[in-house]
């Protein structure tokens, strides 16, 4: 028997891949051809508001939840000025956030999965005041 990876240990370093067999049937997941699973988008998971600090990105959803992730996961936002970070727009039918000044787009699906920017390599993060 092959031991399963511990997704909690991997969260801080890279996106976690989940095999279809790892997802139980009572979760709202469905397989894609790439062997990955993705969360089913629900109406309450639309963006209500966005808050940024020097170190975190927080997104309030219509269903009352707030997703908070480290800003180092999104280097374009990390290195943006406070003015550039403040200039965001809801897009994608309410399921996305766009920062036109830094050409960054995030989805609530990716945030809920805990997915850092796709090109983020382990060990390349810098502190915001570095």
CATH of the domain at 60: 3.30.2020.40
Give yes or no: residues 32 and 82 share one domain.
no
Residue 65 belongs to a domain: yes
pLDDT for the residue 43: 79
- Do 49 and 109 belong together in one domain? yes
Question: Is there a single domain that holds both residue 52 and residue 83?
Answer: yes
* Number of domains comprising the chain: 2
pLDDT > 90 in the chain, percent: 53
pLDDT tens-place string over residues 29-66: 434 444 444 556 677 899 999 999 999 999 999 999 99
Q: Which residue, among 57, 55, 42, has the nearest Cα to 97 in the 3D structure?
A: 57
What range defines the domain where residue 29 resides?
A: 7-39
**Residue 119 CB neighbours (<10 A):** 7
């Amino acid at each position: 028997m092959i031991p399963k990876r511990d997704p909690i240990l991997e969260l801080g370093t890279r996106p976690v891949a989940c095999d279809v067999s790892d997802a139980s049937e009572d979760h709202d997941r469905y397989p894609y051809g790439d062997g990955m699973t993705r969360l089913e988008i629900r109406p309450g998971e639309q963006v209500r508001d966005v808050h940024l600090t020097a170190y975190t990105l927080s997104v309030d959803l219509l269903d009352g939840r707030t997703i908070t992730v480290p800003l180092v996961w999104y280097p374009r936002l990390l290195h943006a000025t406070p003015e550039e970070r403040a200039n965001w727009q809801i897009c994608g039918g309410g399921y996305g956030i766009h920062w036109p000044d830094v050409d960054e787009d995030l989805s609530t699906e990716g945030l809920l999965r805990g997915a850092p920017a796709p090109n983020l390599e382990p060990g390349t993060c810098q502190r915001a005041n570095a």
